[in-house]
Amino acid sequence: MIGSKNPSHFQSKRGGLRPGTRFGRRKAEVLVAFISMTISALFFGVFFANFNPASESSTRKGLHSVSLPVCDISSIADMHPEEMNPVKGERHMVQPPAGSMTLVCCETTAGPLQIAVHPTWAPNGSERFLSMVKSGYFSSKVALMRCIEHYICKFGIAGKPMLNNAFSKGLADDPNWLPEGPNYRVNESGVKRFAKGYLAYAGSGKNSRSNQLIVALNDNELLGGRDPWEVPFGEIVGHTSFRTLDNIYTGYGEKGPSQPLLRKEGSSPSIAKQFPLLDYITSCHVVDDERDALV
């Protein structure tokens, strides 16, 4: 009888609980909950496995190895007119020094970087950089070691420690062609002093430039207006190169490999294992040099 409170009503013929009863439904609910938790555990296991840093590193570096573009400016004559003859305007807050130019192509794990080196901007700094390029220094696999999002990327310590000594001697400072002081951080048109793609040296005092360099990952009003080593000697050119700047990995920020570690080990397998997403310059060479035509 449906309304009966007789306990025997809830017993099956085998003495168990009938599925349609209050106790049977409870048992089914527990079973469903258990199955749901099992499926969830399996799902999240796969989910977190897919976000493993090592897996991300393999994917990123794997894509780089098969799909990186190459330097696409084959001569200075192929450059955009505003890059061939830089002037005060939307990019440069003041008129850069005029003069000859050397075009360099650097291959990196983030893509190609083409650099217009201007000897008249910083004679000593540009000559040191070109000497490093021509010596094959960057083919040692130079780490982009301190890259801070929207700020700068620092690089230059050789991938083979023995190569550092050749360019460790301090350079005499070049005169700064950028306006100095806090009153000249931004000009009347809103253009910031140190443009995205400017290249300069890292330093720590007078005549301290050696083999460590910086490239600006964004326009910056603080750089180039106080420290003598921050005078730009060149700039990134071409749309492809600016895309590469945006593609350089900045996730390690200030916590990338230290200078002492890189000087000791170079671009070693242990550093690659510790910093799997770190980008590197793998080679640099001169593409074109206007000074050759003057000889």
For residue range 97-129, list pLDDT tens digits in order.
Answer: 999 999 999 999 999 999 999 999 999 999 999
Closest of 217, 236, 248 to residue 150, by C-alpha: 217
Closest of 280, 261, 17, 254 to residue 138, by C-alpha: 280
**Residue 291: pLDDT band with limits 50, 70, 90:** confident
> What pLDDT score does 186 carry?
96
Q: Which residue has the higher pLDDT, 122 or 11?
A: 122
Beta partners for residue 220, in sequence order: 194
Amino acid letter, residue 233: F
Structure tokens at 26: 């409870």
Q: What is the pLDDT of residues 146-156, one digit of tens each?
A: 999 999 999 99
Q: Which residue has the higher pLDDT, 293 or 259?
A: 259
The shares of helix, strand and coil residues in the chain, as percent rounded to the nearest 5, are 40, 20, 45
Amino acid letter, residue 162: M
Amino acid letter, residue 259: Q
Task: Give the lowest-confidence range in 7-11, 45-49, 181-185.
Answer: 7-11
Strand duo 111-117 + 102-108: pairing:
antiparallel
Q: What is the pLDDT of residues 48-75, one digit of tens each?
A: 344 444 445 544 555 445 567 789 999 9
**pTM score of the predicted model:** 0.79
Q: Which residue has the higher pLDDT, 11 or 155?
A: 155
**Residue 1: pLDDT band with limits 50, 70, 90:** very low
